[in-house]
Amino acid sequence: MLSVTDVTRGDTLGDAGEAGVLAEVFAALADQPTAGVLVGPGDDTALVRAPRGSVLATTDTMVRGRDWLDEWSCAEDVGVKVVTQNLADLAAMGGVGTGLLVTLVAPPDLPLAWARGLTEGIAWAAARAGVPVVGGDLSSAPAGTVTVTVAALGELGEGVARPVLRSGARPGEVLAVSGPLGRSGAGWQLLRAGAEASGQGRQGPLQALLDHHRRPLTDLTQGPVAARAGATSMIDVSDGLVRDADRVARASGVVLELDEGSVHSIADALVPVLGQDEAIRQVLSGGEEHELLATFADPAAVPDGWVLLGYAVGTDAPGVRLGGRRLDPSVGGWDHFGG
Amino acid sequence: MLSVTDVTRGDTLGDAGEAGVLAEVFAALADQPTAGVLVGPGDDTALVRAPRGSVLATTDTMVRGRDWLDEWSCAEDVGVKVVTQNLADLAAMGGVGTGLLVTLVAPPDLPLAWARGLTEGIAWAAARAGVPVVGGDLSSAPAGTVTVTVAALGELGEGVARPVLRSGARPGEVLAVSGPLGRSGAGWQLLRAGAEASGQGRQGPLQALLDHHRRPLTDLTQGPVAARAGATSMIDVSDGLVRDADRVARASGVVLELDEGSVHSIADALVPVLGQDEAIRQVLSGGEEHELLATFADPAAVPDGWVLLGYAVGTDAPGVRLGGRRLDPSVGGWDHFGG
C-alpha cells in the first residue's frame, strides 16, 4: 500500500529544477503497464492504441484548498483521488482507461517529496486499473497555488457496443447504484469535526469513511459490467446523488423517483457516526463518491452487488423525487462557483 | 478576426455560477466541426473517432503571470496560444488534432467576459485547424490564480505511416525549420520595453512580432507535410531553438551543427528592431515560436518554404553546436523552475 510522505524536509521543486522534477516523476512511473502504448512520455506527444476505432476522453482537476486540504490529505491521497475521478467518468460510459496525461501546476517552494508522493499515488491508482501515464505537463504557479489536472483516454470495455449516455433512461426503468453512498461526505464531516487526520490511528467504520474521502477506491469494472448488462443510462456520483441523478433525469426527460426505504437503508450504515438526519443528507448530496448510478429496462438485469434505488417515471418536468416530493439539486451538491 | 473583450465591466464567474459559466462556454462553441465526434461535451466523457486505430495525446497549460500577463494579452490571445501550443505538439509527430479538452481554474471574481473571450479564442484557433472542443472542466481557484489547460487528441496525418519521434536523426542528415524564429521572443522584448500593448496601434513588422507573441499562428499542416516528405526526427520550437534542438540531439545521439549563415539570415529580419546581438539571441533561445524543426536524410526532401539550418554529425557527446562551438541549452531557454 502507499505510504504517507514526510514533506517537511528536503528539496523543493525550485531546488531540483524542471529536469530534476521530471527525473523524479519518471522514476515513480518506471513500472507501468505498456501494452497499449506505442509512444510513451518524453516525446512531443504520446501515441496510444485505440483498437476499437474510437477514444473516450475526459478531464478532471483538483485544486489545493478547494478539492483537498493539506492537513487532511497527503500527496498520495491526492494522486489516488484525481485518477479515480477520471477513471470513474470513463467507467460511467461503459469504458476502461488506456492512458493518462497529468499536469502539475505548483510554486517553486513546493517540496519535491510532495511531487514524488503525488506521482506515486497517481501511479498506484493507475496501475491498479491497468492504465499507463503517457504524458503530462509541469508549470510554475503563484505562491500557494497547487493544481493537479488529469486527462484520461479510454475505450469502450470488451463486449460494450456503444457508450452509455446520460440521456437513455426511459419511463418504467429501474434505477440502481453500484455501491454505498455518502461515505466521502461523511469522512469529510468527520475530518471537519476534528477526527484524527493522520490516517494511522482509529480502525473500523470511521477509518473506512476517512479512507474513502481521501482515497476513493470504487470498483470501476462495474461500468463495463453494467453496460454489458444493458444499462440504458449511467453517471458516476461525483457531485451528490440528487445532483447527478438530476443530470440523468434532465438529459433523459424523465423523473427519477428515489425509494425512501432504499435511501434509509443506505444511510443506516452512516447513522451511528453521523446521526439520522446527517446520514440521509450525505446519502442524497455527498459528493466524490464515485459509485455508478444507472438505469436498466429489466430489473433482472441489474448486476450482482448493485442496490436498487428507485425507478424512472414519464413527465413534463424532469427531475428527482423522494417519496413524491421534488428534490432541489442545488441544495447540498457542489457548485464550483455557487453558494 | 477575434475581437478584444472589455473585461472591466459586468458579471463575474461567481455571479453566474457553474451552470451560467458553462452556458456561456457552450454558446461560444456552438459552431464547431463535429464530423469525428461521436459524443461531444455534456456527458461523463467525450467519444471521438480514431479511424487509424491509435490516438496521439498531449497536454499544455498556461498560468497567468507566468505564461501571460493581463496587461499584454487579452483572453482571446490566451485561448489562441494554448490551442496552438497543443496542436504544434501533434504536428511535430506528423499528426493533426481530432479533439480538445479545456480546463479553466479561476477565482470567483474573474470576469465572465474573460472566460467568454478565452472560449472564443480557443474556439477560433480550434476551428481554424478543424478541431472540435469535446469536453473540459471548470474549477475555482485561490484569488489571483488563473490557469488554462488544454489536452489535445489527434491522429497521424493522411499518408503518415508512423509518428516522427525526436530520436530518429542520423549523422549526415540535414536540419531544417518550417519558418522564421525569434518572433515571439522579440515581441515579448518589445512589450517589456513598453511598446504599445493595445494591439490596435502600430502596423508593420513591429506589430507582426507583437501578434506572434500574443497569438502564434504557425502553419501546422507542415507537420504532416514533413512526415510525408520523410522527416526522420521532429519537434516544435516551444522552449527555444537550442534547447529544443538539444532534445532531438540527445534523443538521437547526434550533434546538431547549426550553420552560422542560416542563423544570421533568420536573425536579419529582427535586427532593425532588436539590434544584432539580441536578434541572434532570440533566434537561438526565444521560446513559444511553434515552428517545426526536423531532420531529413535527403536535402532534396526538405519541403518548400522550409529553411535549411544545419546538419547532424556523429558523436559521443550529443548536443548543439554553432560554428563549431558547443551551445549550452540551459542558457536562455525557458526552465519552469530554474534560474
User: What confidence score (pLDDT) does residue B317 get?
Assistant: 94
C-alpha distance from A299 to closest chain B C-alpha (Å): 24
Q: Which helix (H) or strand (E) holds B293?
A: strand B292-296
Choose the final residue of a domain: A156, A177, A199: A156
B321 contact A CB<8A: no
The total number of residues shown for chain A amounts to: 339
A147 and A246 within one domain: no
ipTM: 0.93
A200 and A125 share a domain? no
The model's pLDDT over B98-121, given as tens digits with 9 standing for 90+, comes to 999 999 999 999 999 999 999 999
Pair type for strands A133-140 and A95-106: parallel
Query: Do B209 and B273 meet the contact criterion of CB atoms below 8 Å apart?
Result: yes
Q: Choose the final residue of a domain: B156, B187, B220.
A: B156
In chain B, residues with a C-beta closer than 8 Å to the C-beta of A46 are 56-58
**Residues B150, B190 within the same domain:** no
Is residue A55 domain-shared with residue A121, that is, in the same domain?
yes
Q: Indicate if B233 and B255 belong to the same structural domain.
A: yes
**pLDDT of the residue at A330:** 80
A24: pLDDT strictly greater than 50 = yes
- Please state, in angstroms and as integers, the Cα–Cα distance from residue B199 to each residue in A131, B2, B4, B84, following that order: 45, 12, 9, 19
| Cα-only R_g, chain B | 20
In a domain, A8, yes or no: no
| CB contact (8 A) between residue B57 and residue A45 | yes
B273: CATH: 3.90.650.10
| Contact between residue B238 and residue B88 where contact means Cβ atoms under 8 Å apart | yes
Give the helix/strand (H/E) hosting A325.
strand A325-327
- Condensed to tens digits (0 to 9), the pLDDT of residues A193-239 reads 886 544 444 567 788 999 999 999 999 999 999 999 999 999 999 99
Alpha carbon of A201: minimum distance to chain B alpha carbons (Å): 32
As a whole number of angstroms, the distance between CA A254 and CA A167 comes to 9
Q: Model confidence over B229-256: pLDDT tens digits? A: 999 999 999 999 999 999 999 999 999 9
Residue A249 belongs to some domain of the structure: yes
Residue A64 pLDDT class (50, 70, 90 cuts): very high
Our CA angle for A300, A302, A306, nearest 5°, is 135
Given A156, A187, A213, which residue is the final one in a domain?
A156
- Pair (A245, A113) in one structural domain: no
Is B58 within 8 Å of A135 when comparing Cβ atoms? yes
Beta bridge partners of residue B37, listed in sequence order: B48
Same domain, B175 and B267: yes
Question: Quick check: is B276 in a domain?
Answer: yes
Judged by a CB distance cut-off of 8 A, whether residue B59 touches chain A is yes
CA angle B49/B225/B220 to nearest 5° reads: 70
Residue B7 counted as domain residue: no
Q: Residue A195, Cβ neighbours under 10 Å: how many?
A: 17
- Contact state of A57 with B134 under an 8 Å Cβ cutoff: yes
**B66 within a domain of the structure (yes/no):** yes
How far off is chain A from B202, nearest CA to CA, in Å? 33
pLDDT over threshold 80, residue B294: yes
A30-34, A119-123, B271-275, B321-325: least confidently modelled range: A30-34
Residues of chain B positioned with their CB less than 8 A from the CB of A16: 337
- Which pLDDT does position B200 carry in this prediction? 44
Residue B250 CA, distance from chain mean position: 22
- Residue A143 shares a structural domain with residue A231: no
- Structural domain harbouring A18: 13-156
**DSSP of B170-187:** -TT-EEEESS--SHHHHH
Q: Is residue B87 part of a domain?
A: yes
Taking all residues of chain A, what is their mean pLDDT, rounded to a whole number?
92
pLDDT, tens only, A122-152: 999 999 999 999 999 999 999 999 999 999 9
CB atoms within 10 A of CB B284: 25
* Same domain assignment for residues A104 and A197: no
CATH of the domain at B149: 3.30.1330.10
The SS3 of residue A251 is helix
Count how many pairs of residues, chain A against chain B, have C-beta atoms within 8 Å: 235
**Which helix (H) or strand (E) is B103 found in, with range?**
strand B95-106
Does the pLDDT of residue A333 top 80, yes or no?
Answer: no
> What is the CB neighbour count within 10 angstroms for residue A323?
11
pLDDT computed for residue A324 by the predictor: 87
Is the pLDDT reported for residue A249 higher than 60? yes
Please give the pLDDT value at position B8: 60
Q: A279-305: per-residue pLDDT in tens?
A: 999 999 999 999 999 999 999 999 999
Instruction: Tell which A residues from 70 to 89 touch B, by Cβ distance under 8 Å.
Output: 89
Query: How many alpha carbons lie under 13 Å from residue B156 in its C-beta half-sphere?
Result: 20
Q: What is the pLDDT of residue A200?
A: 44
E strand segments, B183-273: 231-236, 254-258
Nearest by CB: A61 against B38, B92, B103: B103
Total number of domains constituting chain B: 2
Average pLDDT over residues A22-45: 91
Whether A259 is covered by a domain: the verdict is yes
B138 touches chain A (CB under 8 A): yes
Residue B2 has pLDDT above 70, yes or no: no
Q: Locate cell 497521424: which residue?
A: B156
Q: Is A39 on the interface with B (CB under 8 A)?
A: yes
B103 touches chain A (CB under 8 A): yes
pLDDT band at B19 (very low <50, low <70, confident <90, very high): confident
- Helix, strand, coil distribution of chain B in percent, nearest 5: 35, 25, 40
Asked if the Cβ–Cβ distance from B153 to A236 is below 8 Å, we say no
Q: What is the pLDDT of residue A201?
A: 46
At A19 the pLDDT is 87
Query: Measured in Å, how far apart are chain B's first and last C-alpha atoms?
Result: 38
Q: How far apart are CA B176 and CA B174, in angstroms?
A: 7
Question: Do B227 and B276 fall within a single domain?
Answer: yes
Question: What number of CA atoms fall less than 13 Å from residue B1's CA on the CB side?
Answer: 8
Same domain, B201 and B271: yes
Q: What percent of chain B is modeled with pLDDT above 70?
A: 92
Q: Is residue A6 part of a domain?
A: no
Report the Cα A206 to chain-centroid distance in Å.
20
Closest to B246 (Cα-Cα) out of B306, B184, B315, B178:
B315
Cα separation, B162 vs B117, in Å, equals 37
Spatial distance between the Cα atoms of B203 and B211, rounded to a whole number of angstroms: 10
Residue A280 three-state SS = helix
Q: Identify whether residues B113 and B181 lie together within a single domain.
A: no
